[in-house]
Amino acid sequence: CFVVDEALLDANLTILKQVKDRTGCKILLALKCFAMPRAIPRIAGVLDGVCASSPHEARLGREAFKKEVHTFGAGYSRDDILDLCRTTDHLVFNSFNQYTRFASLVKDTAAALGRSIEFGLRINPEHSEGTVPIYDPCAPGSRLGIRREDFRPELLDGITGLHWHNLCEQDAGCLERTVRAAEAGFGEFFKKMKYVNFGGGHHITRRGYNIDLLAETILTFQDRW
């Protein structure tokens, strides 16, 4: 069996709520990291939704978390897309080819279901903070996210959010440097977006994590963009 200490979980949620209160940001639970249904109602009382990486995770987010469901997949089948139209609110694509291939199908299917789905894109800031290359989404040759040289601004109509992910249980200093890299490559597009998702890998609840720097990084980003 798996045993979760509710007091420790509540302590972590208190920290995350403080970050939300200080910055006005939204925080999502990455279901690929923690997806215990019995704990979800407790977490949903504080966090704003989930990030799913499969149709099954998106369904769990819709049925159990009952808040925002963001979905990102490096690749989607047609069946995946049809399934996700029933569960996800924000569908994030890994490339412009994915977006142009599936956007009409998503719109038509969601409309028939009486739903509305927003589209996002994953970008690759080409800035590495990880120490293990095989786990680094920004390593040379990575196909996760769109590099600046492959970015097509003329196709941004209909895109409401940009997303990156390059951290793995790291501190706020890593995020601060990543934000600078993302701004250098993609900042000109941020003002056109409803949101920018800083991805996962933030070890916010770890003892010694620099929450002040995290809050400052979020607030200055909001002020600039």
For residue 215, how many other CB atoms are within 10 A of its CB?
A: 17
pTM of the model: 0.95
Encode pLDDT of 154-181 as tens digits: 999 999 999 999 999 999 999 999 999 9
**Does residue 166 sit in helix, strand or coil?**
coil
pLDDT digits (tens, 9 = 90+) for 122-160: 999 999 997 788 889 999 989 999 999 999 999 999 999
User: Is pLDDT above 90 for 101?
Assistant: yes
Closest listed residue to residue 69, CA positions, set 106, 94, 45, 44: 44
Count of other CB atoms within 10 angstroms of residue 45: 10
Confidence label for 40 from pLDDT (cuts 50, 70 and 90)? very high
Tokens of 12: 């972590």
Q: What are phi and psi of 151, to 5 degrees?
A: -75, 140
Beta bridge partners of 161: 120, 195
Cβ atoms 36, 4 nearer than 8 A:
yes
Instruction: Please report, as a single letter, which amino acid is at residue 179.
Output: V
